[in-house]
Each structure stands twice: as structure tokens, then as C-alpha cells.
Structure 1
Amino acid sequence: MKQSAVQGTGNRRKPQLSFWQIWNMSFGFLGIQFGFALQGGFMSRIFQTLGAEKDALPLLWIAAPLTGLLVQPVIGYLSDRTWHPLFGRRRPYFLVGAVLSSLALLAMPHSSVLWMAAGLLWVLDASINISMEPFRALVADKLDERQRSYGFVLQTLIIGVGTWVASNLPWFVAQLGVANEAGPGVVPPSVKVAFSIGAFVFLASILVTVLTTREDPPADLQRFREERLQGKGLVAEILHSIAHMPRQMLAIGIVQFFSWLAFFSMWSMATPGLTEHVFKAPAPDPAAFDMAVPGQAAAFQSANAAFQNAADLVGSYMGYYGLSSMLVALLLSWYAARRPLNRRLVHFVSLLAGGIGFVSMYYVSSPAWLIGSFALVGVAWASILSMPYALLASCVEPAKMGVYMGIFNMFIVIPQIVAATMLGPSLRAFFHNEPIHALVISGVSLILGALCLVRVHEPAHDVAAVPAN
């Protein structure tokens, strides 16, 4: 493999990093996950509050995967070719994405009409992607093969914390006395406060990584500059990299397709599916009530309060998949710090567990049982956020780590686009427009992803590297 100054590390053995060095370089993911968890747990609630029909929700979400499809390969390409003497290669993108994401989070719950919320979702997802993609490349940049599983699992631990806390924010804020309901077409104050907290955490956690993590400059800065000027160009380089992606990357990508189709279906349809099927409190349609009639107005307020409270609890129960993933990540990080993981086997078992968790939601007779269902989903989530990237980093040329991490995320966003366009029509055509079946589809998809791991090979490992003290 040709040595390139663009990356500056080549095949040389990198120094082992301590726990706190790996923790600090990954800490920004706390904020990124606050953004994703608030988006994933409560965007459908905002859409429904603004009058969206439940079968239109997946299509309203299409902005998110379309943005990722366009943004992530571009940001990966650019970050591979960036070097700033103060901020390094990846950190400029962390910072720009964090500022834009925080502004979008502040504005999102103040949307007054549906098209405004959909547009802000586009801005929010683009901004989160600007920050997120370089974080994956940073772990591969700084960690030797012996520590990469540990590094990606530690990232997953931080993501789990962020998912659990952010998913419970509207419920927690409501418990402090902030109103959890509002008039027709108005997002409740509890959601507005939760998104404001998320904006602060996003920016603050990214700053921790930016200020505590140092990136190594290219070994030959002059050669790095020359290669940057002599490159194929953005579009040509991305297309060339897609055409020549490693076979292992394609095999992992197929697994990713089924994994992310499952989670997109959950994010877009869990609120309508569970509020209706488990809590028996679907979102009321304001057009069905005559607000000029006192009894009708009171009936709407009662139905809306029941939906908003149920939506709070759905978000809170969804937080358990973050808590579960955090515990699984702790176990995996403890193990990975001592001996090599069989990444393929871990991923296979985890995806099966998540599939069972999703399917079980259809049979839940009491809301409390959702804790167990989401806990199983969290096992899959912990693995999805770590094992595929650890498997991928072993087969990618270091000089193109950023662009390949961006391209790899096409296997994340393409299934989301498929779900966004096909899920609503499928529910209407085959499942009587009952959104709970979207979660059953999620379960089947994860099980199919697990079976596709037969085409993924487990690379050889060095002796596991324990983080320095």
C-alpha cells in the first residue's frame, strides 16, 4: 500500500493512549447524541403536534438521510485534506457542526408550521453530520489497530449516556413543573426547554474534545500540501473510492443497510406506534373537534394531554435502549481492554437480540414491558455503533480514512431513504395503516442483517492493548 503524506501515519505503530485521552477525544459524541436522541425521540411528536398524519411521518423524515448522503462523503474528503496549525484535521469540522447544530436545536421546537419543522430538520441533520463523520475518522487516525475496538466501544458508552439522558429530558423537565401541553399546533414548553438544554450540551461537549485533544500533523507537511493540490478533485475522488471500495467494506455495508433501516423505522414511527398500540392514546386530529363548542374543546384538550403524556413516556422508554447500550459498551470496553474481541460474533448475537426486542413490542400488554424490549434493542445499538467501524478501520487505507468513513455512511442513509419513501405506503397497503407494524419490520430487518454477517470476515488481531494509566 502506497505511503501518503495526507495521513502522515502510514503503517507505523501508533503510541498507546490512556483511558482519559481516548475519553476526551470521544466526549464530543455526548453532544452529538443529545442532538440525535432529541431528533429521533421527539421529531415525530413535533410533526404530529403540527398536524402531520401518521403515515406521512416517514416521508417528512427524508431530509435527514438525504442530508447524510450528500454531506458525509464530502466532509470526509475535505477533512482528509485539511490541516490547520491550531485546530488540526478533524476538529474544525467538529466546531462548525456544533455551532450550527446548537442553533438548529434552539429553533426546532419553535416551529409554527409543518414545513418549517421539516426544513429545520434538514439543517439540524446536516449540521450534526458535519460534526459526526470526522469523529469516526479521528478514532482511526489516533488509535492503533490494537486499541480501535476499545476506542469505538468507549465512543458507544458515551453515546449510550447521551441517548438515555436526552430521551428523558422532556419527561424530566415536565416533572419540574414545566407545562407539557399547549394549544392546537403548538409544541409544549417542556419540549422547547429540553431542546434548549440539548443545544447547550452539544456545544459544550464538542468544546471539551476540541480543547483537550491534539492531532498529529502530517509527517511531511510540504508533501501533504502538494498531494492536496494534485488530487483528483472532490467528485472524482469520491466516485473512484466508491468504485474501488474494499470487499470487506461492501459486505459490512449490506449488514448496515438492514441495521439502519430498522432504527430509522423506530425513530420515525415509535411515537405513533406505541402511543396508539400500547398507551391507547393516539394523537388527536384538531379538525375532528369544533373548538367553538366548549365540550368539544375540552375533549380535544383531554385527548391532546393524553397523547403528549404518552409521547413523553415513549421517549423515556426509548431512553432505555441508550441505558442498555451503555451497559453493554461498559462490558465490551472492559473485555476489549484485556483481549481481542470476535467482532463478527458480537455483532451477530447483538443484532439477533435487537430483532427480538423490536418484535416483542407488538405483544406488549403493559407499558412497563417496553423497558425489556428497548433494553434488547440497546444491545444491538451498542454493537451497531462500534463493531462495524472497528471491522472497517482494519481494511481501509489510512490516507483515505475520512472519505471512506463518509462513503461507508451511505450504507446508513440509503436504507433510511428507502424506509422514508416506502414505509408509509407499505403500512397503508399491507398493515391497515397501523404504525406498530413498523417496529415489527424493524425486528425482521435486524435479524436479516445478522444473517448477512456470514459474508463478513474477522481480521487477525494483535495482542490486545490495555490503555496506559
Structure 2
Amino acid sequence: MVAGGVQYGWALQLSLLTPYVQTLGLSHTMSSLMWLCGPLAGFIVQPCVGLYSDKCRSNLGRRRPFIIAGCLLICVAVVIIGFSSDIGYALGDTKEDCSVYHGARWKAALTFVGGFWVLDFANNAVQGPARALMADLSGRFGCNAANAIFATWMAIGNILGYSSGSTGEWHNWFPFLRTRACCDACANLKGAFLAAVIFLLISMTVTIILAKEVPLRSTPGKGEDQAAKFLDIFKSMKNLPPGMPTVLLITSLTWLSWFPFILFDTDWMGREVFHGDPKGTQAQIDAFDRGVRSGAFGLLLNAIVLCVGSFLVTPLCQKLTPRIVWVMSNFMVCVAMIATTIISEWSLDKYHGGRDSPFIGPDGNVKAVALFVFAALGFPMAVLFSVPFAVTASLAANQGGGQGLCTGVLNISIVIPQIVVALGAGPWDKVFDKGNTPAFALAAAIAFLSGVLGLFMLPKLSKSDFKSVGVGGGH
């Protein structure tokens, strides 16, 4: 259940924070650099926390101390993010009312980025031990059943988080959230994140009370063995099973095609579909806020399709083979990314309103098609979160073991493209001065390339091999 609490905040983070930090003065180019913390946290925090939790001898058990500490750290980070405008105001940012002043607020922006990084590291500190706890307690039901339960809670957290982010009523429900430094959009974000804190604390309490762990007894030499295993991840490239290098290549290309959309999806809705600007006139700012909330609703639809699609991935892989399903999903991403560029141009043709217009917004048909793209991407996302891991497990099983090492190396192939996109997406968009469209167009080309290469290079696993491994969704 704690996975659902963490995912609630993660959904808000994905849908709201890239657009919001731009209202504090951070440029569109610089906002992508903020996301470097995600891959760094996945590369450093999860393996380290996982190893330390393996040998933790607390009376609470191996996993629960890390879950408690990580959840409390998430709560602190969320409060810092939600109140970053107020903190910046107290530290000496402009004293003008936020309804009048739309310039940069650098102290608030620095506070926000600091809280954002803490939040991402804390998220990773909880998710690793939580997954391990599910495996520890799975018993006779097996890891597949545990993974399905874990994925279900993550889907619930996604749905609740995107629902919370898509509503614009938090400032009306709790008017005290609005201050001189924090107007309606800021108050909505603050309310959504405070709700996330409450849900996370409830989820954590249920997990800690009901998940009974047996404390680990002292085992001489265990720490050295675990440290050696961690180093083995970086030494194991030369011992990978046949076909694994290709899986790593296609995984990297797949994530390279996905991450621009994951990073800028709601920002794209605010800018290209709703024609808003977080630093423009009041009408443009309002349009941008409406677009971001509409994008959060699109992510809600995406999460629902992802949840349903995760149950369809295994039957499809058993019928068509994992290679075909993976390739098919990459071509779907290619089509979707091409669609975003077409929608951007179509929206510009249908655009009504001007810089001094009291209302700026999209054509209804354009908005509907954009939301359909969000929803349709739910199925290839279900493939993204499951098939590469299942193929890796199957290759390792055919080799006679080494699943942990192969999965560790696979995680590196996911982290590297995220770093590349975080460093390059903003500058790439700035070169063409076209908002988010250049990054999405490049993503379409990479998705097509990964589909073609995957069709000819991915290992041809038999259906029986895959059936014995199974898959599960999740983020």
C-alpha cells in the first residue's frame, strides 16, 4: 500500500512540477536539468538502499526502517515544494502580490529545486525496500502475485494523483492556502501535495502495522558479500547472456524516445495546445494553467489504460512473442510522437485569442485528440514497464541464473538515456525555438529506429520461455 502513497506524489510530480517551476523564473531550457535527479537517484540510491536494507538488523525488520525514514523525508520535501513561493517571499523575493508580479522569484525557485531533488531521492529510497518487502512476504504465492499487487497499488496511486492534479478547485476548497506569494495555481499545487502527504502517511502506517517482518540475525561476512554483489553489477558486462547486449541497446533507445514526453507532456498541453505562457500576460498564464490541468487529466486517462493494459501484456506476449509486442509498442510511440507535432501545428491553425484577449484556449477538437494521444500511450507504457524486465529475466534464466546482475545492468541502460534527455531536451528545443515540438519529433525518429532495430536484433524468445517468467506493470 505504501507504493500507492509514493506513486500519488510521483504522479503529481510528473504532471505539475515542470510547468510550475517555470512560473518561478526557471526557463523551459533549464527546467529539464532539474530532472537529472531522477536517473541519479535510480543509479545511486536504489542499489545502495537495497544493499543496506538486505543486511539491516533493526528490531523493526530489514525494510520497514528505510520505508519509514523515506516516507518522512518525502513529507518534508513535499511541504518545501508546496510552500516554496511562501518561503521565497519570506527570504526576500518581491513583496508584490502574486496577482500583479509575474517576474522571476529566484529564492523560491532554488527552494523548489532543492525540495524537488530531496523528493526524488526519497521516492527511490522507499520504492526499493517496498518492492523487496513484497518479495520477502510473497511466500507460497510467489513473486509474480506480489508484483501484481504492487503494480495495482501503484496504479491506484497514479489514478488518485493525476485526479488530484487535474482539478483546479483546491484553492476554493481551502482558501487559506492562497497568500500574497501564492495565487490560485500555486494554491492548487499546495493543496494537492498536502493531500498527498496525508495519503502517504496513512499508506505508510497501514504497511508498517500489517507487514510483519522477522528481524535479521547477525551473519558474519554478509556485508562483504553484498558489497561485492554491488560491484559485480559494473563488472558483469563481459558475462552477459547471449542477446542481452541487444536488449540493453533497444531498452536505451526505447527510453530515449519516451522520456521527452514524460518530461514535458503537461507543459506541451499548456503551451502548444492551450497557447499559454507561464511568464506572459494574465490571460496567457491562465491558459497555461488550464492546459497543465488538462494534461494531468490526460495522464489520468493514461494511467487507467496502463492499468488495463498491464493485464493484456502477458497474453499478447504469449501469443505474439515478446519481441513483436515490444517492437509494436515502439512503433505506437513513433506514431504518437508524430501525432503531437501534427496536433501542435493544427492547434496553431485553429488558435483563437491574442495577447490582449481575455480568453486564450484550444479548439475543442484539438484538445480531444490530444487527450486521446495521452490515453493511447497507456498501452505502450505498460509494455515499457514490463517486457524489457521480463525478457531480461528470461535470458538470465536460460543462462542458469544471474537475474539480479542482469536487472542491475538493465537499470543502467534506463538511467543513461534519461540523463541524455534531461541535459539535451531543453537546449534542443531552444535551437528551433518551437517549444516542445522538436524534442517530440526527435523522439518519434528514435522510436522508429528502436522499432526497426528491435524487429531484426531482439532475441527470439519462445512463448514457453516467456510464459515461465511472467510480467507485471508499474512505474
Question: 1:263, 1:462 → 2: CA distance?
Answer: 27
User: How many angstroms apart in 1 are the aligned matches of 2:443 and 2:231?
Assistant: 35
Is the CA contact 1:257–1:412 (under 8 Å) kept in the aligned structure 2?
Answer: yes
For 1:103, which of 63, 76, 82 is the aligned residue? Answer: 76
What CA distance in whole angstroms lies between the structure 1 residues aligned with 2:166 and 2:326?
A: 32
- In the aligned structure 2, how far is the partner of 1:249 from the partner of 1:127? 31
One-letter amino acid matched to 1:87: G
Q: Aligned pair in 2 of structure 1 residues 231, 125: CA closer, same or farther (>3 Å)?
A: closer
Which residue among 287, 309, 315 is the counterpart of 1:328? Answer: 309
Structural mapping, 1:331-410, within 5 Å: 331-332=312-313, 335=315, 342-364=321-343, 365=346, 366-394=366-394, 405-410=407-412
SS at match of 1:413: helix
Report the counterpart of residue 16 of structure 2 in structure 1.
Answer: 42
Once the two structures are TM-superposed, the CA of residue 168 in structure 1 deviates from its matched residue by 2.4
Percent of aligned pairs sharing the same letter: 23
> Which one of 426, 438, 441 corresponds to residue 424 of structure 1?
426
Structure 1 Cα separation of the partners of residues 16 and 301 of structure 2: 15
Separation in 1 of the partners of 2:386 and 2:181?
42
Q: Distance in 2 between matches of 1:236 and 1:357?
A: 39
Match of 2:129 in 1: 134
Unaligned runs of 5+ in 2: 89-107, 347-365, 471-475
Further displaced range: 176-185 or 359-368: 176-185
In terms of mean alpha carbon deviation, does 102-111 or 445-454 score higher?
445-454
Matches of residues 46-445 of structure 1 in structure 2 within 5 Å? 46-82=20-56, 84=58, 86-88=60-62, 90-111=63-84, 112=88, 113-138=108-133, 148=143, 151-172=146-167, 174=169, 177-178=172-173, 188-214=186-212, 224-229=219-224, 236-241=231-236, 244-246=239-241, 249-285=244-280, 300-332=281-313, 335=315, 342-364=321-343, 365=346, 366-394=366-394, 405-429=407-431, 431-445=432-446
What letter matches 2:78 in structure 1?
A: L
Alignment length (residue pairs): 418
Q: Could you report, residue by residue, the CA deviation over 1:6-34 in whole angstroms, capped at 9, with x for unpaired residues?
A: xxxxxxxxxxxxxxxxxxxxx33212221
- Does 1:455 pair with 2:458? yes
Q: CA deviation at 1:166?
A: 0.8
The TM-score, its normalising length taken from structure 1, stands at 0.76
- State how far apart, in whole Å, the 2-side matches of 1:145 and 1:249 are: 30
The CA deviation at 1:248 is 5.3
Closer, same or farther: CA 446–160 of 1 in aligned 2, 3 Å: farther
Specify whether residues 422 and 42 from structure 1 end up closer, same or farther in structure 2 by C-alpha distance, changes over 3 A only: same
Q: CA deviation at 1:256?
A: 2.8
Q: Larger RCO: Structure 1 or Structure 2 (Cα < 8 Å, ≥ 6 residues apart)? A: 1
Counterpart-to-counterpart distance in 2, 1:242 and 1:215: 35
How far the C-alpha of 1:71 sits from its partner, in A, is 1.4
In the TM superposition, residue 38 of structure 1 has moved relative to its aligned partner by: 1.1
Aligned to 1:19: none
Counterpart of 1:358 in 2: which secondary structure? Answer: helix
CA distance in 2, matches of 1:367, 1:156: 30
Which amino acid is the alignment partner of residue 257 of structure 2?
Answer: A
Q: 1:155: Cα distance to partner? A: 3.7
TM-score, normalised by the number of residues in structure 2: 0.75
Letter in 2 for 1:426: W
Q: Is 2:16–2:165's contact at 8 Å kept on the other side of the alignment?
A: no
The one-letter code of the counterpart of 2:440 is: L
- The answer to which of 440-449 and 270-279 deviates more is 440-449
CA distance 1:408–1:262, change in 2 (3 Å): same
Q: Distance in 2 between matches of 1:258 and 1:189?
A: 38
Distance 2:30 2:138 in 1: 43
Post-superposition shift, 1:235? 6.6
| Aligned-pair Cα RMSD in Å | 3.7
After superposition, what is the alpha-carbon deviation per residue over 1:180-209, rounded to whole angstroms, capped at 9, x for unaligned? 988777662111010111122233334444
Q: CA deviation at 1:381?
A: 1.5
Q: CA deviation at 1:426?
A: 1.6
Change beyond 3 A, Cα 1:424–1:229: closer
1:3 is aligned to none
Out of 30, 33, 40, the residue aligned to residue 7 of structure 2 is 33
Change (3 A) 1:232 1:202: closer
In 2, Cα distance between the equivalents of 1:28 and 1:355? 34
Gaps spanning 5+ residues in structure 1: where?
1-26, 286-299
Quickly say closer, same or farther: Cα 1:279–1:185, change in 2 above 3 A: same
| SS of 1:62 mapped into structure 2 | helix
Aligned counterparts of 2:128 and 2:444: Cα–Cα separation in 1: 27
Deviation at 1:63, TM superposition (A): 2.5
| Change beyond 3 A, Cα 1:204–1:445 | farther
SS in 1 for 2:435: coil
* Equivalent pair of 2:51/2:227 in contact (CA under 8 Å): no
Q: Deviations over 1:91-128 (max 9, x none)?
A: 43333222211221222121132121111111111000
Q: Which amino acid aligns with 1:203?
A: L
Which whole-Å CA distance do the structure 1 matches of 2:327 and 2:213 have between them? 34
